[in-house]
Chains A and B, each alone.
Chain A
Amino acid sequence: MLTLITTVILAANPPLDWQFPGVSGPALQAAVRAAAGPVPRGHLFDEPAREAHLAEVRWPESLGCLSDEAACADARRAVFAALQLAGQVVATAEGADGGHRVVLTLHGLQAPEPQIYTGEGPTLEEAARDAYTALQGRVTLVLTLDPPDTSIRLDGEPFGQGSGTYTVPPGDHDLTFESPGRRTVKQPIRGDAGETLTIEMALPAAVGRLKLAVEPASATVFLDGAKWPDPGAARELSPGPHALRLEAEGYETFTEEITIKSGTAHEMSLKLRPDEPTWREALARPHPDTRARPWTLRADLRLASARDGEVGLALPNGGELASQDLSMGTVGVGFSVGWRSDHLLIEGLGLSYAAGSEQTGATFENGSTSGDIDALSQLTLRPLWVGARYPMWRVEPYALAGVGFVWETFDVDRPSGAQQVSDTRFLLGAELGLRYAFDDALSAGIGAAFDFWPGERASAAFLIQVGYALDLPEPWK
């Protein structure tokens, strides 16, 4: 978790040593002493106060820059640190425009540069009071910052940079500490005139924020491998790459590496894509078994309907079978040899035989209806049919078309006696169906075959098929 280390220490600070060099020193010392009031705390204005402080100085734990154990701005700061002083004020006075000017030069323990406060007045006392107020009437900030070059704003305005000693007007203020790659931290302060505030501030590493809107809402979110129970609430993350994963039943898992930027609020809407149904996915790809072997042998059981229509055959005993007046059902079997590629289908040497023995009305010569057809048999040859197939998983719809020849025989029953008459016809046919490959050899299916030509006597058949796929023996390839 982020750590913010901030300590504000009030009072109990080391005192300032005062020096009044020069011939005007004693008078100026008295004037400053008067301006400071009866009991000035934290100031060593005179020798007794200085001696009282120094008498308490003990051997320090570290000699600091008195012995190269630390570095400081100059040798004087080394002395201040060793003698436990916050710094030294050198007070001087000079004449100015008929009056006096007092200059107070503050050498702060940690300030790299001295700070100068001046006061002017018709008398030395007033000039000293003016200068002392300028010095004392501010709050001293002793800042120890990490990183050391942290930028500082005072009440929103640029104020300074880096650790050191600063002064600000008394009252309430907002300090803002900023540094690249670190979180910006605001620190409210309140200081009275003459007070010293010590602030130690370590800026934590900057973070970014991430918030997700996910659909479906039941999706489970993992961030850097750990479950994130509430992705809808913004979360602080260290800058850099993070692994995001969303999972939901029935949806595709989403995985992505996202990059969080420092100080940026990232909001992402993520909608998971539903999974494809298994069957759809399966159907999208043909099973290798459907393409394993190119040659096929097929047999079928066919239930056909030989439709009514004009026949026009002369009967052996005289007369004519003019037409078949009603449809007749037939049952038969068929056989064929085929070759297939991915989508091309060729079947040849198709031979089928179907027969029916249903008594069916017929019209004879001169429109006579005395008599009927007792049986019909059809032997059909399909020499070469061409078509297409579209395997999906193990299921394969197909269509074939071609020409054929039919040898058909009618058993006619007339009052004059039973007769048999045969005919040979040319046909144009088509077949549609659906097959299922059990493995790379065996398949089964159903289909519908339609024969046309000539005239009105078409037929339709329902087919139940079995098939066997094979490779040609090596010498035939």
Chain B
Amino acid sequence: MKAVALLLFALAPSIAWAQADADDLPPPVAEAEENPGAPLPDDPDVAVGREAYNAGDFAAAVTAFRAVARRHPENPAIYRALARAASWADAPETAIRAYRHYLALAPGAADGDKVKAELTLALRKTESPPAEGPPPAVAEALAAVIERSKADAFAGEAGALAALDALLAIDYVGPELAEGRRAVDETLRRRTDELIGRWWAPDDRASPEALTAMAAGWAARAKRGALDYEAERMSAAVTGLGQLAGQKWSEAIETLGPVAPGDPRLRYAQAVALARAERHVEAEQVLAALARDADDPRVAALLGLVRRAQGRIDHALDAWRIALEPPAAGAR
């Protein structure tokens, strides 16, 4: 009698689904891949999870799908797969959270009603379903990541990256993991761009301390995962400007060299470093190229100085004459 009851309980999700959708049970994982709106991530553990699921080893499927969800926390399909595997593995809390993540990430999904029915069934299976939203520890850790990022504190134990480590260390999968990573990366990029702008603006300064702190932030970020091309460029830029502020001319030249092309501000910083290192010929080459496009008298003024340093006074005067030209009428 007891065995019969257990069997009925284990089959409950499929019975409910049968009532809702009249499909055979259990649902194949491959169905999710066929949904054009929510493909599963391209991750080797997807296949591991699928095989385990189809073999009836639902606990192994949950393990594999959770691993995928940690790497792709904003992919809705992986949560549907995880939720179904967790339902069969008799882990209703995990299933409930995963269903909710799916519905939140894919609000207009074609199978939304079916998934809601599954969620309702999962909720019936537990007397204490998890509360809506992330667990308090996750919410608190995510708030710390965002707050520290806003305060420009990235590196060190009190930095946003340490807070992100703490967030990722929690035994939890959900889109909040991606939100934490995104908060750090986006703030780093925005602040770095602002700092480069302050370095370039004549009426503002990027303090050496701020440059050093931002470079440390990028270094700490790089230790936690590979940077994309743009992030690599920003990291090198801010590091090079910090070296320039610290009068480490050669290091600044080396750091800025690969990332300066395409950004007149960094090109100019590279020229300053070359000039300060008394590599006047190279500095002149960079500045002359810049002067063809740049409409900033500082470029011409510095070009004149490096030519003057080479003893080419006439060429220096040519540059300075341009530097001193008054702006067009109507401009100050």
Contacts and interface: CB of A to CB of B under 8 A. Distances in A.
Contacts of A96: none
Contacts of B41: none
A71 B204 contact: yes
A75 B296 contact: yes
B302 A70 contact: no
B257 interface: no
A77 interface: yes
Interface in B285-332: 296-298, 300-302, 304-305, 308-309, 313, 316-317, 320-321, 323-327, 329, 332
Interface in B182-207: 199-200, 202-206
Given A57-B308, A75-B297, A82-B301, A65 B325 contact: no
Contacts of A66: 272, 298, 301-302
B332 A79 contact: no
A377 to B, nearest CB: 107
A315 interface: no
B235 to A, nearest CB: 19
Interface in A24-74: 50-51, 54-55, 57-60, 63, 65-68, 70-74
Contacts of A75: 202, 296-298
Interface residues of A, number: 34
A78 interface: yes
Given A55-B313, A59-B309, A68-B199, A19 B324 contact: yes
A77 B323 CA distance: 11
Contacts, number: 86
Contacts of A58: 308
Interface residues of B, number: 33
B305 A82 contact: yes
A71 B205 CA distance: 6
A330 interface: no
Given A66-B302, A82-B305, A114 B203 contact: no
Residue among A19, A67, A107 with max Cβ neighbours from chain B (10 Å) = A67
A425 interface: no
A70 to B, nearest CB: 7
Which residue of B297, B308, B329 has the most chain A CB atoms within 10 A of its CB atom? B297
A448 B325 CA distance: 120
B301 A83 contact: yes
A21 interface: yes
B298 to A, nearest CB: 5
A21 B323 CA distance: 14
Contacts of B117: none
A18 to B, nearest CB: 10
Interface string B59-77: 0000000000000000000
B245 interface: yes
Contacts of B202: 65, 71-75, 77-78
B274 to A, nearest CB: 12
B297 A54 contact: no
Contacts of A70: 205
Contacts of B204: 71
Interface SS, B side: helix
B332 A74 contact: yes
B275 to A, nearest CB: 8
Contacts of A68: 199-200, 205-206, 245
A79 B199 contact: no
Interface string B98-123: 00000000000000000000000000
A114 B327 CA distance: 13
Contacts of A451: none
Contact of B297 (A19, A73, A79): A79
A50 B204 CA distance: 30
Contacts of A92: 329
Contacts of B302: 63, 66-67, 82
Contact of A54 (B203, B316, B325): B316
A220 B206 CA distance: 57
Nearest to A47: B321
A88 interface: yes
Interface in A366-424: none
A66 B301 CA distance: 8
B272 A83 contact: no
Given A68-B245, A71-B205, A76-B297, A19 B323 contact: no
A23 to B, nearest CB: 12
A78 B298 contact: yes
Contacts of A431: none
Nearest to A90: B326
Given A55-B317, A67-B272, A79-B297, 15 more contacts: A21-B326, A59-B305, A65-B203, A66-B272, A68-B206, A71-B204, A72-B203, A73-B202, A75-B202, A75-B298, A77-B202, A78-B298, A82-B302, A83-B304, A107-B332
List the 5 closest A-B pairs by CB distance, nearest first. A79-B301, A90-B326, A79-B297, A19-B326, A67-B272
9 contacts: A21-B326, A21-B329, A59-B305, A60-B305, A66-B302, A71-B203, A82-B298, A83-B323, A90-B326
